[in-house]
Structure 1
């Protein structure tokens, strides 16, 4: 991951240096810093619960090389944050045919969860390649459109539940286990979990529209609206892992959960599972302010 980010930044630096040399030969260009914010979320269809969009934005630097007075090419680098949330009042899950490590007996693990909440946030390093058109005298109307390559930096989800009740049905003895905490059985309140989400590189369609204000001959303030729309699924893992999962520790079996972004849920009445989300794409729309220095 670190090597990919370094390669991306190196490519931006080479583009910046090359365009600066051309600018020194008589062509105009701009360097800029910008901040943007608004709706910045992970868009997906959830199989259960209520999906809520989140807020976020981006912070970055840019370089624009003007081929003519009205047309230029823009690149740079920006860090972008995307957030979303899912809540579910109550649900059940079953994991079938687990093996009891003490005697090898098969059992099914049943969970009943109340007050579930999951918050997801991901961070990307985006590298844009945009075309800019501007028109006007001193103050100009501008528009940008193009693509961005998003390199994943970090993906996390935090989950919690007001109550989780776990029990197991053992096949050979046809008995229920309900109190063996070393196997994860029992009633647990104020459950919480915090883990990573593995992410893919993403390609965005991106557009900006607004006004370019001339503060002086070489200093400009851009104000406008922007849109970044992801074109591919960013979740790297398959979605066939069970929503409720387990981890062996020195104290026994610990019950955890996967993210709704990369898992399926099982139901106690049958052996079927249901994928909890379809493709996940980052989407951002909001306002952007950019301060640019002419070279």
Structure 2
């Protein structure tokens, strides 16, 4: 059985300051510089669960907002962003077994051992982000400004979908009170299912992310400019929100088919699951 690492640090944050500053900027919107843009790059939903690996990580976002100038160099910005992360998760080894406690139809507790071959999990995370940042800019040539943005974002997941597949999924039971192991009893949910495929969804909550951008703006006429930058974003805390550890493929007390896909991250309710992204930002500023 692959070990699970349990390491969770709870995080508290207060959104009153973000909401207050955002409301202030909205009230000053007439004087602000409006921007729209897109982000594209590597989007990684990191976890501290051992024995798994990730691949094909992609991330991107659509963003709009404005920056209120404090003086010729500094400004405060906010806005609204829609982001999406896509990645694949699998075990480090082709065949793996994880165990957890379950209760059968007669309310008897047992150890549920789920073994799969070539388990793959395609994950799609969609979220809204509310940024609040400070921008520093400096003119370095005619029509060209250097820009640096640093701040935080409130990251609110909208939906975290998973699509799981495996060559086969075999669920067995061990009843410690009577020292009984059950390998094949399909009418009670124990046995093997070939060509497993199912969809599911993780329960989530909002977190805070740090955000940094470094780039340049290029004036296009008197009222607009192009913006290009590199960005780095890092989440703190965990977006996972569940009360109990669950089998990555759920137990069904009446059949070995149509088992629910709970997902690998659900095996540890205290796991740190957080988004991290870096890549390129392209935007259009309106003065």
Q: Identify the TM-score tier after normalising by the shorter chain.
A: 0.7 to 0.9
Structure 1 residue corresponding to 2:284, chosen from 243, 266, 291: 291
Which position in structure 2 is the counterpart of 1:189? 194
The worse-fitting range, judged by mean Cα deviation, of 254-263 and 214-223 is 254-263
1:50 is displaced (CA, Å) by: 2.0
The higher radius of gyration belongs to 1
TM-score by length of 1: 0.79
**Match runs of 1:163-178 below 5 Å:** 163-168=168-173, 177-178=182-183
Instruction: Give the RMSD, CA atoms, in angstroms.
Output: 3.0
1:98 is displaced (CA, Å) by: 3.6
**Match runs of 1:144-223 below 5 Å:** 144-168=149-173, 177-223=182-228
CA contact (8 A) 2:166 2:197 kept: yes
Structure 1 unaligned runs (5+)? 1-6, 24-28, 265-274
The worse-fitting range, judged by mean Cα deviation, of 193-202 and 231-240 is 231-240
Structure 2 CA distance for aligned equivalents of residues 206 and 253 of structure 1: 44
1:83 is displaced (CA, Å) by: 2.9
1:176 is displaced (CA, Å) by: 5.8
**Match runs of 1:1-295 below 5 Å:** 14-15=23-24, 17-21=26-30, 23=31, 29-52=32-55, 54-88=57-91, 89-95=94-100, 98-101=103-106, 108-136=111-139, 137-168=142-173, 177-238=182-243, 240-247=245-252, 254-264=258-268, 278-294=271-287
CA contact (8 A) 2:193 2:257 kept: no
**Per-residue CA distance 1:18-74 (angstroms, 9 max, x = gap):** 1224x2xxxxx3111100100111112332132336111110111111122221111
CA contact (8 A) 1:41 1:53 kept: no
The aligned length equals 266
**Per-residue CA distance 1:227-272 (angstroms, 9 max, x = gap):** 11112211111453333422457x68853342221214xxxxxxxx
Structure 1 pair 197/70, CA: closer, same or farther in 2 (3 Å)?
Answer: same
CA contact (8 A) 1:56 1:80 kept: yes
CA contact (8 A) 1:93 1:244 kept: no
